[in-house]
Amino acid sequence: MKVYEAPAGRSIVASLDHGADLLASIRRVAEENNVEAAVFWVIGAVKRAVIGYYDQDERRYVKIPVDEPLEITSCTGNIARYKGEILIHAHITLADRDGRSLGGHLYEGTVIYAAELYLVELNLELEREYDETTGLNLLK
C-alpha cells in the first residue's frame, strides 16, 4: 500500500464546451493551468460515450461505445504524470433515459452536451509506473 499526504492547492471550476471531447477537455484545463497532480469530478451530460472495462485475465481494456445521449451520474478521477506526460485517469457512470446505469474507464470519444469540471490541485509529485502484477500504470 502506498499512502500520500498533500495539502490541497488551487480549486479550479470550468464549464466545458458543448460538442468537445470530455477527456481532452479535462486535459486542456490541466495543461492551461499548469496542473500536474489533482483530483477531479464532473457533472453534466454527454451526447455519446466511449467507456472501457479492464479484462483482468487478458490484461487489456475493452472499449464500449455508447451512441446515445446520457446523463453523467458520476465522473471522478485524478491527474498524475506518466513518462513525463500528464495522464488523466477517470471513471464515469452514466444513465440513459430509462435510468439504467453503465460505467467504466473514460475514453476519448465521449462528446460533451453540457459539463462542469471541479478540480482540486494536489501539492505533491504524483507519478505512475507500469505494474507487472496487474498490467496497469499505477501510482508509484
What pLDDT is recorded for position 113?
99
All 3 cell numbers of residue 108? 476519448
Domain-embedded: residue 139: no
Domain-embedded: residue 130: no
Which residue, among 88, 87, 91, 89, has the nearest Cα to 105 in the 3D structure?
91
Domain-embedded: residue 137: no
pTM score, two decimals?
A: 0.93
With 90 as the cut, is the pLDDT of residue 116 above it?
yes
Domain-embedded: residue 127: no
pLDDT tens string 89-111 = 999 999 999 999 999 999 999 99
Domain-embedded: residue 78: yes
pLDDT tens string 1-15 = 888 788 889 999 999
Q: State how many domains the chain has.
A: 1
Domain-embedded: residue 109: yes
Which residue, among 2, 33, 19, has the nearest Cα to 110 in the 3D structure?
19
Domain-embedded: residue 136: no
Give 29: exposed, middle or buried? Use CB within 10 Å, 0-12, 13-18, 19+.
Answer: buried
Q: What's the CATH number where 27 sits?
A: 3.30.1330.80
CB hemisphere CA count around 105 (13 angstroms):
14
Range of the domain at 34: 9-122
